[in-house]
Amino acid sequence: MTEATHTQILLPTAGVDLFLKDGATSEAAKALSEDWRFARVNVSVHDGDVETAINMYGQSASPTLVIIETNTTDESFIERLGALAGNCAEGTNAIIIGPVNDVNLYRSLTSMGVQDYLVKPVAQDVLGEVIASTLIENLGTTDSRLISVIGAKGGVGTSAIAQAVALACTEKRKQKTFLMDAAGGWSSLSVSFAFEPGGSQNEAVRAAAMADEDTLSRMINKKTERLHILATGAEPLLDATVQAQQYEALLDSMMAAYPVVVADLSSSVPSLKRTVLNKTHKTFVVTTPALSSLRSARTLISEIKTLHGGADSGIELVVNMQGFAAGREVPRGDISTAMDREASVFVPFNSGMFIGLEADGRPMSEDKAGMEIIDSLVPLISDIIEGQSGEEEEPVKKSGGLLGGLLGKK
């Protein structure tokens, strides 16, 4: 899994102050405003150094991340970092940009609580990746991957594919996975996995906002040791759905607790879909081989790429129900031409299996044909969860940022 894959999401709201003297690095920092990931990040570039930062934070609050450029890395600079830490709020993180590539210096600074050390001048792509990685790591989502499943239109089997993706993560990649449906009362998860809804989405988002772990725990159905499901769906069908910002907060809460979160976006409102897709590491776009569905899928993929600054990575096209209307479907060989991309996987039409499993309340993994579908999806998720252990370990939280380690002053 590459670092770029890890950070190709809309970054959370944060403030970043850079104190720079090098012109090339300053230009690289200012150019971050054009990076779609930084839409909610306030990047401020100051002409200065560690002394400028010390004076500023003696009079105003420090942001999430402070980046300091220095021409010296001797003991006097280390002492000034201590003074800077004394003026920074708890949780502030620091990155140092220095003049030399020195492994021992890097180890010394990071052992003191500095997040990273870079050698100037720093290119825009490198600076953007380091800042993105730091913000994600220190906001608690560094080890979590969000997978979204969205349909080109209704009736294409989006929920079935979402369930298959979740089972691929748990059964094949051995990842503890959280499956959640954004459809409110329209969710079919309780039928597919044979449980009673434990509450509504409104209750879930309120619990997340209040950090009410007891309430959230009661709304989570632990289907297996690794597969946990948000048991919402108790609300009336015609009730208003939760707001996108509320659902995002719920997502953040789940991503802090689970290595993999799978979100089924079928039957959700456009604003919620947009918000979730902006945070997504991998998106499955589900279509059938019907012309109308493929046309919608092409438009949807184009809009997702626009949301991600034109990036095409992380989008998988799933052609579901192949063979449901033999002779009337777009031929398999023509789909890549029509879509201007190859389909990631073709799923054969098997209505009897899905209806039978749903009637029995059994997961797809308990059927031979269902397991073949799950197996076909495994290569599509391996790039974003590759390298994760699959063990259910407690997340490691960094303590104190700039104020941790030797620089702890408050």
Q: Residues 123, 124, 128, CA angle at the centre, nearest 5°?
A: 120
pLDDT at 280 over 70: yes
User: What is the pTM assigned to this prediction?
Assistant: 0.74
The angle, 0 to 180 degrees and rounded to 10, between the axes of the packed helices 50-57 and 75-87 is 20
Enter the tokens of residue 239.
Answer: 């009730």
| 3 state DSSP class of 69 | strand
Spatial separation of the C-alpha atoms in residues 174 and 390, rounded to whole Å: 5
DSSP 361: T
List pLDDT tens digits, range 305-325: 999 888 888 999 999 999 999
Of all residues in the chain, the percent with pLDDT exceeding 70 is 91
pLDDT at 405 over 60: no
List pLDDT tens digits, range 317-365: 999 999 999 889 999 989 999 899 999 999 999 988 888 888 888 889 9
Q: How far apart are the first and last CA of the chain?
A: 37
Task: Specify the higher pLDDT residue, 301 or 141.
Answer: 301
Q: Residues 247, 294, 374, CA angle at the centre, nearest 5°?
A: 65
Spatial separation of the C-alpha atoms in residues 87 and 407, rounded to whole Å: 11
Q: What is the pLDDT of residue 105?
A: 81
Enter the tokens of residue 156.
Answer: 């294409």
Helix residue ranges, H only, 269-350: 270-279, 291-307, 332-339
Whether the CA torsion 294, 299, 304, 305 is positive or negative: it is positive
Spatial separation of the C-alpha atoms in residues 147 and 369, rounded to whole Å: 23
Q: Residues 276, 277, 283, CA angle at the centre, nearest 5°?
A: 125
Enter the tokens of residue 79.
Answer: 């002492």
DSSP bridge partners of 181: 264
Residues 6+ apart with CB under 8 A from 271: 243, 244
List pLDDT tens digits, range 190-223: 888 888 888 889 999 999 888 888 898 899 999 9
Q: What is the pLDDT of residue 139?
A: 65
Q: Which residue from 356, 345, 405 is spatially nearest to 381, judged by alpha carbons?
A: 345
Which of 137-146, 219-228, 233-242, 264-273 is predicted with the least confidence, judged by mean pLDDT? 137-146
pLDDT at 123 over 50: yes
Spatial separation of the C-alpha atoms in residues 400 and 139, rounded to whole Å: 12
Whether the CA torsion 191, 196, 202, 205 is positive or negative: it is negative
Q: What is the pLDDT of residue 143?
A: 62
| 3 state DSSP class of 149 | strand
- Domains of the chain listed by start with CATH number: 3-140+400-407 (3.40.50.2300), 145-366 (3.40.50.300)
List pLDDT tens digits, range 156-172: 999 999 999 999 999 99
List pLDDT tens digits, range 364-400: 999 999 999 999 999 999 888 764 444 444 433 344 5
pLDDT at 5 over 60: no
